[in-house]
Structure 1
Amino acid sequence: MTKNLTLFDADTSTVEQSLNQHFADWVAFRQTSKSKARSERPLSEESANVYAEMWHAFAKFCAERDLALQEVTVTDLETFLTIRGSGPDAFRPRQTTRGPDLTARYANRYLVLIQKVTQFIAKREGIEANRAAATLRERPEYQYAEAADKDPPPEYLEEGQARSLISYLTRAPRPDSAEKFTWKTVRDRTAVALMLGAGLSPGDVRGLKLDGVITTGGKKAGVPWKLSVEGNGNSPSRETPIADWAGRQLAFWLKVRTQQSMPGNYVFPSTMKGTQWSHTRCFEASRDVMEDAKLGKDDGGLYKLRHTFALRQLRKGKSEADVARWLGFLDVSSMERYRRIVLNYQSAA
């Protein structure tokens, strides 16, 4: 489990420390739970990391207002969700927002997390649980946030945009350019390349291991053509193909990584020491690559790259079953949202 779940900064207030300890206790309970209930199963490391960043932002909000968990009201939660959607800063990653506000789906997930931790603490201490999050979730916009018909069509890159991004990601540094080109530049562009060229999610990128890069059996010696991606709480382990251009970019990054003598098994380490990229830093670095490529920071988020990969594969005639497997979907019915776009595209052609 990650180290940051129970560590507190020396300047952290008592309220914030208390709230973060509540969260750490809830995670510890989940990790040792033998329950088969989905709400009590052990968390994957990726899920725990994401929840930790979400909760720590909530704890910081409460600490600034000197609010204990039992004192939080519906109005407080409404204010928090509004602030959370108005970022960006280190505590307000906006990959799950559209425009100035959080999506109802992501806001609901915040409320679910707060409700779960609140109920856990109340049960442990034998007190009545604060119902603010539960009450807010009864509103229609949150109550039906996860409904299938509320699922918006995926945002994706038009073919011209995809080609422009590929050109940007794979271009060599220009001798006459003032552009700063470091190992991090190559790492960040290659990470984005695998989101577009192999359908990886940001979490997949962060967790990708060197022994998951497959070069044997490819068209060109030493050039990766397939990735073995570890499973997590949301998707199974899988193998996914890499587009030729993305494979060459990955080979270039691995060469740079070797030249820098980086230890560890992570393909995309955060530092020269080989430590894992954090959720927030990976998002920020990848988002900046998108902005530098003139595709905007927040328009559709990073998942539009994964969606574009799926649509490109379907348009090439790959089966829905194959693409679903490459993306790590457990149910092929998840491809329905892509099917509508492909059919419209074919009708317009």
Structure 2
Amino acid sequence: MHALASWNADPVRAFKEFVSTTAFAETGRRLRADGTMRALSAESAKIYVFMFANVASWILEQGLTFSTVTQADLVRFIDRTVKGKRVLNSKIAYRYLRLLERCYEHLEVAPNPAQQAILGIDRAHMTKDEAGRTLSEDQLERFFAALPAEAPRRRNSTPFDGWKRRRDRAMQVVIALAGLRVSEAIGLLIPEVGRQVSIDGSIMLTITPDEKHDTSHEHTITLPREGVDELRPWLQERETMAIPGQFVFPANLTGARMTRKTVYVQMRATFERAGMDLSRSGGRTLRNTFAKRQLDNGASADELKDVLGLALERSAADYQLTRVKPDPTN
């Protein structure tokens, strides 16, 4: 009872003390081949603490304590929505409940509310709720190699023939190397492209909500030299063609806005030329790949939130939680 009282008084502190113990490892039942417990990595511990802090904050907001939370309360937590969309997909929700189940198991709370909530999850639906896929470095190179190529010159061709291929090529490179949503790419405006080139050849993109999806938040992101080498020639060609408007990647010569469907079709074609039959061969796969590369380079959830233009750090933490391995079948 004394232990449970400390979890009620300061649940985050109690969990931090718990997560570093062998007792936590035992609840996970993760054994090596020789029967000894697997040590919890510092990165995993950090993610677990972040997850638990999310739950603890929500429990406090509801006027509850760790010991008074019920199965129904936990179901409400995982079923939360923002603008009609669930905050947690079912796989992430399951991981939250599994973490809480381990805590209540350690405290010998019966019945275990998290365990009861897990039993109520539609597991059939959960298996269909795949985490975002990513590309390996080799697959990403194959994607770049399969980008729209210059069309063969015809006898009566003009210098601007095939401009849409060059537009699509530049757009897909920017999406992949800057981690943009498709809505952010088609809504990218010329004033948002930095003019100053850094020593390493990169430039800054300032993404604003203007002309974009309402979930886009203003943020800046570095476009590396490889992306600049594709984007700048396209911008020069666009200027020479005197296409009106401010869209970096216009749909036509009148400067209209591209549609998501058009981008999806062109991107799908690139994946097919690369010989990759991914079920999510689109902008989300490229954005996930960008996020994974950021994490592999040591970015924290807060830093990832900033470069992806996310409103909440917990959204960035979802990328840490999935950390999906590249699709091995392609």
3-state SS of 2:206 partner: strand
Q: Where does residue 80 of structure 1 map in the other structure?
A: none
Q: Does 1:317 align with 2:298?
A: yes
CA contact (8 A) 1:208 1:267 kept: yes
Q: Where does residue 337 of structure 1 map in the other structure?
A: 318
Q: Where does residue 276 of structure 2 map in the other structure?
A: 295
CA root-mean-square deviation: 3.9
User: What's the CA shift string for 1:75-120, capped at 9, x where partnerless?
Assistant: xxxxxxxxxxxxxxxxxxxxxxxxxxxx99xxxxxxxxxxxxxxxx
Q: CA deviation at 1:318?
A: 2.7
The structure 2 residue matched to 1:206, chosen from 161, 166, 186, is 186
The structure 2 residue matched to 1:226, chosen from 200, 204, 227, is 204
Aligned residues: 207
CA contact (8 A) 2:146 2:271 kept: no
Q: Does 1:167 align with 2:148?
A: no
Q: Distance in 2 between matches of 1:39 and 1:344?
A: 30
Q: Does 1:267 align with 2:248?
A: yes
CA contact (8 A) 1:156 1:300 kept: no
TM-score, length-scaled by structure 2 = 0.53
Q: CA deviation at 1:271?
A: 0.2
Q: CA deviation at 1:182?
A: 1.1
Q: Give the stretch that moved more between structures: 286-295 or 189-198.
A: 286-295
Amino acid at match of 1:153: A
User: Which protein is bigger by CA-based radius of gyration?
Assistant: 2
Q: Where does residue 56 of structure 1 map in the other structure?
A: none
Q: Distance in 2 between matches of 1:200 and 1:296?
A: 22
CA contact (8 A) 1:227 1:240 kept: yes
Shift in CA distance, 271/174, structure 1 to aligned 2, threshold 3 Å: closer
Q: CA deviation at 1:275?
A: 0.8
CA contact (8 A) 1:189 1:286 kept: no
Amino acid at match of 1:193: V
Q: CA deviation at 1:342?
A: 4.7
CA contact (8 A) 1:287 1:297 kept: no
Amino acid at match of 2:172: V
Task: State how 1:244-255 maps to structure 2 within 5 Å.
Answer: 244-255=225-236
Q: Give the stretch that moved more between structures: 229-238 or 333-342.
A: 333-342
Q: Where does residue 176 of structure 2 map in the other structure?
A: 196
Q: CA deviation at 1:328?
A: 1.3
Q: Where does residue 86 of structure 1 map in the other structure?
A: none
Q: Give the stretch that moved more between structures: 309-318 or 207-216.
A: 309-318
CA contact (8 A) 1:213 1:224 kept: no
CA contact (8 A) 2:145 2:274 kept: no
3-state SS of 2:257 partner: coil
Q: CA deviation at 1:193?
A: 0.7
Q: Distance in 1 between matches of 2:243 and 2:288?
A: 31
Q: Distance in 2 between matches of 1:344 and 1:168?
A: 22
User: What's the CA shift string for 1:50-97, capped at 9, x where partnerless?
Assistant: xxxxxxxxxxxxxxxxxxxxxxxxxxxxxxxxxxxxxxxxxxxxxxxx
Q: Distance in 1 between matches of 2:281 and 2:161?
A: 27
Q: Distance in 2 between matches of 1:255 and 1:265?
A: 14
CA contact (8 A) 2:133 2:325 kept: no
Q: Does 1:182 align with 2:162?
A: yes
TM-score, length-scaled by structure 1 = 0.50
CA contact (8 A) 2:133 2:285 kept: yes
Shift in CA distance, 172/210, structure 1 to aligned 2, threshold 3 Å: same
Q: CA deviation at 1:167?
A: 3.5
User: What's the CA shift string for 1:264-310, capped at 9, x where partnerless?
Assistant: 10000000111111222222222223323333474443210000011
Question: What percent identity do the matched residue pairs reach?
Answer: 23
Q: CA deviation at 1:343?
A: 9.3
Q: Distance in 1 between matches of 2:83 and 2:143?
A: 40
Q: CA deviation at 1:188?
A: 0.8
